[in-house]
Amino acid sequence: MLSRIGDIKRFKNPDSLANYFGLTPGCRNTGGKHRIGGITKRGNAVARVVLNFAVNHIARKDLAMKAWRKKIKNKKGQKRQELR
C-alpha cells in the first residue's frame, strides 16, 4: 500500500485519498436532479484490490467487523456471490 500511496502528505484530506483509490461515489447532475451512484473505480486498481482483500480478511476474523458486514448485507442485499 505504501508503494502505491507514496508520501501521504500529498493528500490534503482523507477524501482525497479515497478519491485516489476510486472509492468515492459517482454522481450525475442534470436538469436540477442530483443522483449518487456506485464507486467510481477511476483510481488505482491495484490499491483497490489490496484494500478489498484486507477488508475481507478482517471481516472474517474480527467479530465486530463481521457483525457490521452482516448488518450491511441484510440491509442492502448481497450483489455477488461471496468466495469461500
In angstroms, rounded to a whole number, what is the distance separating the alpha carbons of residues 17 and 71?
26
Domain definitions of the chain by residue range: 2-76
In angstroms, rounded to a whole number, what is the distance separating the alpha carbons of residues 46 and 52?
10
Q: Which residue has the cell 477524501?
A: 15
What integer is the mean pLDDT of 33-54? 81
Provide, rounded to the nearest whole percent, the portion of the chain with pLDDT above 70. Answer: 89
pLDDT at 8 (0 to 100):
87
pLDDT at 12 (0 to 100):
92
In angstroms, rounded to a whole number, what is the distance separating the alpha carbons of residues 75 and 71?
6
pLDDT at 81 (0 to 100):
54
Number of neighbours of residue 14 by Cβ within 10 angstroms: 8
**SS3 track for 68-80:** HHHHHHHHHCCCC
pLDDT at 79 (0 to 100):
61
